[in-house]
C-alpha cells in the first residue's frame, strides 16, 4: 500500500510538473467507479472491449482528408460506453497505460495498412500518453509493432502534449529523438495550453503542432485568439512544421482559419470521431 501510494504521488508530480508531492487525503478520494475501472483493465484488454474511432483531419485548401486521429473508447460490460477522459487518467497511474497504448497503436496501424494496400492514403495519428515518455524500451516496442504490421513508419504520427514533455524533459527528449529516427512524425498536441512550448520547437524533432481547441472554437468573437493563431502559424512557417487547428465546429471558423493562412484542421464541423467504415464513406 505504501509503494502504491508513493506511486500515485509520483505520477501526480510528473503530471503537474512539481518536484515534490505529498500523498494525502485528496489522493484517497478515488470513488468506487474509478476503482472498478482500475480493476477491469486486464479484462478489457483480453476481451477486446477497447475500440478505436477515427476523426478526419482536413486540408482546408484542397478540401481533402489528409489523415485521421485514432481516439480510443471503452465499451465497459457494466459501466457502458466510456470516453477516454473517464479511464485514460486512471490507466496513466499504472502500467496499464502501456498495454492500452500498444493496443490502440496496433489497431490503428492495422487500419492504416488496410487503407494503404487499397491505395487510400490516410496516415494515422495515435496519442502517446505523457507518462510513457520515461518508460524503458518504449521506442523498441513501438518499432516492433510498426515492423510486425508492416506499414511505412511515415504513415504514423504520434501526438504528445506539451505538459507531457515537460514532466521529464530529458527522457522525453531522448524518446522523441528515437521515435523520430524510426521515421515517425511527432506532433505537439494541445499546443498553447502547457508551458515552455517554444523550447520543444528548439530542442526536439517536431513535425507538427496542433493548436488547442481553446483558441479555435470561438475564434470569430475573439481578436486575441486570432492573434494567437497567427503567431503559431508564423512559428510553424519559421520551423517548417505543419500547423493544425483543433476543435473547428463551424464553416465560419474553417473559412476564417483559411484566411489567416491555416491550412490544416480537425473538428466536429468536418466529422466527429467515427468508425473506419464511416470514414471511408465520408471520403468517397
The residue count for binding ligand C2E (CB under 6 A) is: 22
If binding is defined by CB under 5 A, does position 159 make contact with Ca ion?
A: yes
Verify binding: residue 82, ligand C2E, rule CB under 6 A. Answer: no
Task: Say which residue the cell 528515437 belongs to.
Answer: 178
Which residues in 170-229 contact ligand C2E (CB under 6 A)? 189-190, 213
Q: How far is the CB of 256 from Ca ion (least distance, A)?
A: 19
Are the C-beta atoms of residues 207 and 186 closer than 8 Å to each other? yes
Among 37, 90, 104, 265, binds ligand C2E (CB under 6 A): 104
Near Ca ion in 242-271, by CB under 5 A: 246
Q: Which residue has the cell 502559424?
A: 233
Q: Indicate which single residue of 127, 139, 163, 185 sits in contact with ligand C2E (rule: CB under 6 A).
A: 127
* Contact predicate 191/211, CB 8 Å: yes
What's the count of helices (H) and strands (E) in the chain, helices before strands? Answer: 11, 9
Q: List C-alpha distances in Å: 98 to 133, 147, 205.
A: 10, 18, 23
State how far the alpha carbon of 182 is from the alpha carbons of 62, 134, 146, 152, 272, in Å. Answer: 29, 17, 9, 10, 30
The option from Ca ion, ligand C2E, none interacting with 88 (CB < 5 to 8 A, set by class) reads ligand C2E
**What single DSSP character describes residue 270?**
T
Which of ligand C2E, Ca ion, none lies near 183, with the C-beta cut-off 5 to 8 A by kind? none
Is 147 within 8 Å of 168 (Cβ atoms)?
no
Q: How far is the CB of 92 from ligand C2E (least distance, A)?
A: 7
* Binding of ligand C2E by 236 (CB under 6 A): no
Q: How many chain residues bind Ca ion (CB under 5 A)? A: 5
Tell the smallest beta-carbon distance from residue 63 to Ca ion (Å): 22
Of the candidate residues 55, 107, 111, 127, the single one contacting Ca ion (CB under 5 A)? 127
Kindly report the backbone phi and psi dihedral angles of residue 7, in degrees, each rounded to the nearest multiple of 5, phi listed first: -60, -45
Element (DSSP H or E) covering residue 162: helix 162-167
- Burial classification of residue 23, based on how many CB atoms lie within 10 Å of its CB (0-12 exposed, 13-18 middle, 19 or more buried): middle
- Residue 273 binding: pick among ligand C2E, Ca ion, none (C-beta 5-8 Å cut-off by kind): ligand C2E
If binding is defined by CB under 6 A, does position 268 make contact with ligand C2E?
yes
CB of 163 to Ca ion, least distance (A): 11
Interface residues with ligand C2E (CB under 6 A) are 55, 71-72, 83-85, 88, 101, 104, 127, 129, 159, 189-190, 213, 247-249, 266-268, 273
Amino acid at each position: 500500500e505504501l509503494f502504491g501510494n508513493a506511486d500515485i504521488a509520483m505520477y501526480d508530480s510528473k503530471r503537474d510538473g512539481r518536484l515534490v508531492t505529498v500523498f494525502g487525503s485528496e489522493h484517497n478520494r478515488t470513488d468506487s467507479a474509478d476503482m472498478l475501472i482500475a480493476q477491469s483493465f486486464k479484462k478489457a484488454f483480453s476481451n477486446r472491449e477497447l475500440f478505436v474511432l477515427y476523426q478526419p483531419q482536413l486540408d482546408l485548401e484542397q478540401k481533402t482528408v489528409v489523415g485521421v486521429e485514432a481516439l480510443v473508447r471503452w465499451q465497459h460490460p457494466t459501466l457502458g460506453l466510456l470516453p477516454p477522459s473517464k479511464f485514460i487518467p486512471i490507466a496513466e497511474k499504472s502500467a496499464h497505460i502501456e498495454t492500452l497504448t500498444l493496443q490502440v497503436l496496433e489497431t490503428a496501424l492495422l487500419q492504416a495498412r488496410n487503407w494503404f494496400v487499397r491505395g487510400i492514403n490516410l496516415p494515422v495519428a495515435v496519442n502517446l500518453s505523457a507518462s510513457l515518455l520515461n518508460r524503458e524500451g518504449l521506442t523498441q516496442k513501438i518499432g516492433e509493432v510498426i515492423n510486425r504490421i508492416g506499414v511505412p513508419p511515415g504513415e504514423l504520427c504520434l501526438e504528445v502534449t506539451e505538459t507531457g514533455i515537460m514532466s521529464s524533459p530529458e527522457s522525453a527528449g531522448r524518446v522523441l529523438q528515437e521515435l523520430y529516427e524510426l521515421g515517425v512524425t511527432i506532433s505537439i498536441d494541445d499546443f498553447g495550453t502547457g508551458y515552455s512550448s517554444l523550447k520543444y520547437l528548439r530542442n526536439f524533432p517536431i513535425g507538427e503542432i496542433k493548436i488547442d481547441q481553446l483558441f479555435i472554437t470561438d475564434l470569430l468573437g475573439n481578436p486575441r485568439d486570432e492573434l494567437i493563431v497567427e503567431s503559431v502559424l508564423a512559428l510553424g512557417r519559421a520551423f517548417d512544421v505543419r500547423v493544425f487547428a483543433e476543435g473547428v465546429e463551424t464553416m465560419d471558423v474553417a473559412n476564417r482559419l483559411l484566411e489567416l493562412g491555416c491550412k490544416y484542421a480537425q473538428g466536429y464541423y468536418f466529422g466527429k470521431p467515427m468508425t473506419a467504415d464511416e470514414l471511408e464513406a465520408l471520403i468517397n
